Amino acid sequence: MDRNQFATSARVYWLAMILALAFCFLGQLRYVPLDRLVEAFLHPDNTSFGEAYVHFSLLPRMAVAVLAGTALGFTGAIFQQILKNPLAEPSTLGILSGAQLAITIVSLTLAGVSAGQRELAGVVGALAAVVLVCGLSFRSGFAPVTLLLSGMIVSFAAGSASVITALFHHEYLRSVFIWGSGSLIQNDFSNAVALSLRMLMLIPALLLFVRPLAIVGLDDAGARSLGISPSKLRVVVLFLATVLSAMVVARIGVIAFIGLAAPHIARLCGARTLPQRLLWGGLLGGALLLLADGVVLVIPPFIGEVPTGTITALTGALAMLFMLREIPPTPFQATADSALQPMAPITRNLALPLSLVLMMLVAGLSLTEHVFSENIDVSVLAHGRWPRVLTSVSAGAMLALSGAVLQAVARNPMASPEGLGVSGGAGLGIIAALFLGGMSSPVMPLAGGIIGALLALAIILFVARRHSFAPGPVMLAGVAVGALVTSVISVIVASGDPRATYVLAWTMGPTFRATGLVAIIAALIAISALLLSPLFRRWIEILPMGDALARSIGMRPVRIRATLLLFSATLTAAATLIVGPLSFVGLMAPHMARMSRPRGPGSFMLMSSVIGGLLMMLADWIGRSVDFPYEIPAGVLAAFIGCPYFIFLVFRQGLKGE
């Protein structure tokens, strides 16, 4: 890092810290006069509630924010390096989901859970998730692509288990909800001391592996020639980084986006080498979390108390969008590290016909449902069920096709419709319509969703246009917009408005609102998209090989990427308007289709759509039947249905890749 880049990083860091401290101080003026604020920090008058609060609550809260943010930013840089993926973070390998599920189970099992017990449960849950991920990745030599995919499987499964548990036992899990929101409220210095001790042990241990990590991050073959075992290195570093992340999460709750945003902001400020990204990623992580918490301390008089984890997504997303727009453009080039498993032809492919047969079987069961309909005319039941069945299939097919196009163009196994930010934009538009105009007319949420999706896409294209719509900046901008929208939705939910219950129900992906008109429109959109998809076969096959090759055969890569992004965004927005923000189907269905070894891009997109539709329809049927007359949202159950099959395929075939 040269002197100018170092100065940029330092300026960004100190600007964030100054803003954070200003917000923290301003937030306390309603408790302590300005002339007594410094004295309250150093030598409080215990007879004054305000000064005691500032010294024994605010000061440790600021210390915890800096420590936790530093740890998350540091581990985020570690995960991005070892997994060779710019979208990796502590939640990538299921660490946060595993910790949350374990803490949920312990909270239901024990009458009272201490901080130590919660921390132990979080670490055990996180390590269990990583053990599962490593077990699935063993046959591939812990290749980064396999680790990422396995991590997503475990994360979705554990997250869905937590949601289902909360649906049935929500009255006993209030403390878990508060913890999960990422609240930094402190009563003493115990958490600050505990985090300090753990960081003093684990961060130096991770720093011992900086040089091998830098070599492995470039090339596994080169690392082996130098006597470094990439697989062993990944296991050791993953273990240490997991323990550190889990301890932070168990102490303060789920803090979103810091582990992803801080290393990227450091890179955008000029941090090029791994030691530089670790240093500035950690420092900026602490500054970002303190800034977010400072905002939380200022806004209660205006909108009420908001969890810090919500504000971290807001501040981190804004910072990343600004930095992405400001950095100079770089040409997109395909790399072997980001390549997905190549699609190879096979002589016999039974996956498609078997999937279609299974789809018809599930459709028949959904339309008749003999188990619960002894006294109901089957024709009457089928007449009421067909809109849900058709809506589920259509929405799943649209999301899967959108995910297939994104993953093929970006050559990134973590690319998904949710990563575009369009899903969140549509959701925010629907919520805005709900709060501004009510639900008296179905036109209001439809118009709001379309406007929100278009605004989100416009922001992403505006940021990524300077980079010729290269997949990396597009996905990063999409993640930032998605996090920004999610934070706004969380603020609305935290406001206590009674309409927030509708918002929560919608985010879980229910299909009970489907009508005949909605189902027909969804089916027409899905069929139209499938008919258009063969036009993209040549683009999807050639574009990931690099812009130079594409131009040499007369293609215009910038225009093609913009067209494919618009196609995926349109499908994502339509599916979100119909059933809500479902990310699992669009993320996992293309991987399941790829494992069936399709013959080419056209077959790959068709197979992805079929699997996506099957997953959604199966999830809707099981969610409606497993606890009749109550329902489990299809969006929650989709992970339970897709994960076992995906785990079987990964374990049986393995995924080769570096």
DSSP secondary structure string for all residues of 331-372: -----STTPPPPP---S---HHHHHHHHHHHHHHHHHH-GGG
The Cα–Cα gap between 126 and 155 comes to: 10
- Mean pLDDT lowest for which of 67-71, 431-435, 517-521? 431-435
Q: Is residue 342 included in any domain, yes or no? A: no
Secondary structure class of 208 (helix, strand, coil): coil
Query: Are 384 and 299 in a shared domain?
Result: no
Query: Are 317 and 365 in a shared domain?
Result: no
What is the average per-residue pLDDT within 3-22?
Answer: 76
**For residue 403, what pLDDT is reported?**
87
Name the nearest CA neighbour of 656 among 306, 144, 70, 105: 144
Q: Please, which pLDDT band fits residue 331 given cuts at 50, 70 and 90?
A: very low
Residue-averaged pLDDT of the chain: 76
Query: Are 321 and 356 in a shared domain?
Result: no
Q: Is residue 344 included in any domain, yes or no? A: no
Number of neighbouring beta carbons within 10 Å of residue 551: 11
What is the average per-residue pLDDT within 560-578?
Answer: 82
Query: Are 450 and 376 in a shared domain?
Result: yes
Query: Are 278 and 404 in a shared domain?
Result: no
* CATH (domain of 82): 1.10.3470.10
Query: Are 569 and 518 in a shared domain?
Result: yes
> Which tens digits make up the pLDDT trace of 314-323?
776 776 677 6
Residue 344, pLDDT above cutoff 50 = no
Q: Is residue 336 included in any domain, yes or no? A: no
Q: Is residue 340 included in any domain, yes or no? A: no
- Please, what is the angle between helix 258-268 and helix 308-326, to 10°? 20
Domain of 34 in residue numbering reads as: 3-326
Name the nearest CA neighbour of 202 among 123, 128, 263, 103: 123
Number of neighbouring beta carbons within 10 Å of residue 227: 7
> Which tens digits make up the pLDDT trace of 431-487?
777 777 665 566 677 677 778 877 887 887 787 777 666 666 776 677 777 777 766
In 162-251 the beta strands, taken as DSSP E runs, fall at: none
Query: Are 606 and 500 in a shared domain?
Result: yes
Residue 284, pLDDT above cutoff 80 = yes
**For residue 75, what pLDDT is reported?**
93
Name the nearest CA neighbour of 237 among 4, 80, 430: 80
Query: Are 309 and 379 in a shared domain?
Result: no
Q: Is residue 337 included in any domain, yes or no? A: no
> Which tens digits make up the pLDDT trace of 97-128?
888 888 888 888 887 777 788 888 888 988 88
| pLDDT more than 70, % of the chain | 70
Residue 505, pLDDT above cutoff 90 = no
Q: Is residue 343 included in any domain, yes or no? A: no
Query: Are 507 and 627 in a shared domain?
Result: yes
**For residue 201, what pLDDT is reported?**
93
Q: Residues of 115-151 as b/e, b for ≥16 C-beta within 10 angstroms?
A: eeebbbbbbbbbbbbbebbbebbebbbbbbbbbbbbb
Residue 2, pLDDT above cutoff 60 = no
Q: Please, which pLDDT band fits residue 204 given cuts at 50, 70 and 90?
A: very high
**For residue 639, what pLDDT is reported?**
67
Residue 145, pLDDT above cutoff 90 = no
Q: Please, which pLDDT band fits residue 69 given cuts at 50, 70 and 90?
A: very high
| pLDDT more than 90, % of the chain | 7
The Cα–Cα gap between 432 and 455 comes to: 13
Q: Is residue 334 included in any domain, yes or no? A: no
Chain centroid, CA 33 distance in Å: 42
Q: What's the number of domains the chain is made of?
A: 2
> Which tens digits make up the pLDDT trace of 380-390?
566 667 788 88
Residue 27, pLDDT above cutoff 60 = yes
Choose between 402 and 157: higher pLDDT.
Answer: 402
